Amino acid sequence: MDNNHYSLLREKMVRLQILSRGISDSRVLETMRKVPRHLFVPEGLIELAYLDCALQSSSGQTISQPYIVAYMTEILQLEPTDRVLEIGTGTGYQTAILSEASNFVVTVERIPELHQSAKNRLETYGYNNIICILGNGYDGFAPEAPYDKIIVTAAAPYIPEALMHQLSPNGRMVIPVGSGSQELILVTKDEYGEIKEENDLSVIFVPLVEK
Ligand code: SAH
């Protein structure tokens, strides 16, 4: 299929799944229109890439529903100067979205095959402001800390302490919390380091594996 076919599907995805549900940040909409999601899903699922649902990736993990990717990206309020930490690279789709909308991204994945294929994919498609780390991200990634924004795409029973520390003053973090039923939590740190947590949407993510 030609690229035009997929850009039409992408435009439809943005209109019917994302704009219609109230996402209005123009940079989020622009990146969702731009990043070729079909190149991030497993080969057999290419024609399902732009549907309004999560899909299975390899190794029993998932690629999140487009709306959830857009929603989490919007509440991060990304700036072009931001340094971003992502835990749970998975397919690298969310990573590509972050890469388009910020200055620099560190992404951590614990499953070697997923890490390697996301890294290859991101390099091949020219996303060159990303460092892909193989390892457990429960404690974040201290060597590049602090981060203006942190996004966790797997659910933790509670917010890992290390991630709180690695968030910059005036930083924002979005993380699904809970076992069984989960809520997306928005953590904000003010300029004095004071932390505030707000419960947001109910979500379903695979578990964030503890060390
Ligand atoms: N954002 C991904 C979705 C990832 S699913 C995408 O767009 O495709 C969650 C991912 O988190 C899985 O790949 C899983 O292996 C990874 N993961 C779970 N616990 C982890 C941990 N402690 N450290 C790093 N990665 C972890």
For the domain that residue 176 is a member of, what is the CATH number? Answer: 3.40.50.150
Residue 36 lies inside a defined structural domain of this protein: yes
- Average pLDDT of the segment spanning 77-92: 98
Residues with CB under 6 A from ligand 1: 57, 61-64, 87-88, 90-91, 93-94, 108-111, 114, 136-138, 153-154, 206, 208-209
Residue 139 lies inside a defined structural domain of this protein: yes
* Residue 200: predicted pLDDT: 80
Contacts 24+ apart (CB under 8 A), 81-84: 81/148, 82/148, 82/149, 83/144, 83/146, 83/147, 83/148, 83/149, 83/168, 84/147, 84/148, 84/149, 84/150, 84/151
* Residue 60: predicted pLDDT: 80
Residue 208 lies inside a defined structural domain of this protein: no
Residue 76 domain boundaries: 3-203
Taking 80 as the threshold, does the pLDDT of residue 72 lie above it? Answer: yes
Taking 80 as the threshold, does the pLDDT of residue 2 lie above it? Answer: no
* Residue 97: predicted pLDDT: 98
Q: Is 179 a catalytic residue?
A: no
What is the percent of the chain where pLDDT is above 90? Answer: 91
Taking 80 as the threshold, does the pLDDT of residue 40 lie above it? Answer: yes
* Ligand 1 site-directed mutation target among 209, 210, 211, most atoms within 8 Å of CB: 209
Which residues touch 210 (CB under 8 Å, ≥6 apart)?
Answer: 138
Go through the chain and tell me how many residues it has: 211
Residue 109 lies inside a defined structural domain of this protein: yes
- Average pLDDT of the segment spanning 72-90: 98
- Average pLDDT of the segment spanning 119-125: 98
* Residue 179: predicted pLDDT: 85
Distance 2 CA to ligand 1 centre (A): 30
Taking 60 as the threshold, does the pLDDT of residue 1 lie above it? Answer: no
Domain count, the chain: 1
pTM, rounded to two decimals: 0.97
pLDDT bucket at 164, cuts 50 / 70 / 90 = very high
Residue 209 lies inside a defined structural domain of this protein: no
Rounding to the nearest 10 degrees, give the CA dihedral for residues 39, 41, 42, 45.
-100
Distance 58 CA to ligand 1 centre (A): 11
